[in-house]
Structure 1
Amino acid sequence: MTQFFEPLAGGVILGLSALLLLIASGRIAGISGILGNLLTIQPGNGWRWMFVLGLILGPIILSTTGFSLPAIEGSWAMMIAGGLLVGFGSAYGSGCTSGHGICGIGRLSPRSITSVMVFMITAAITVFIVRHVMGVA
Structure 2
Amino acid sequence: METTEKNKHVVLRFNKEVIEQGNQESFNELMHQKFINQSAPEGMDNGAQGMSYFFEQILRPALPDVKVTIHQQVAEGDLVTTRKTITGTHTGTLLDVEPTGRLVQIDVIDIVEVKDGKYLQHWGITSLPAVLSQLKQN
TM-score (norm 2): 0.33
Question: Which structure is larger by alpha-carbon Rg, 1 or 2?
Answer: 1
TM-score (norm 1): 0.33
More strand by share: 2
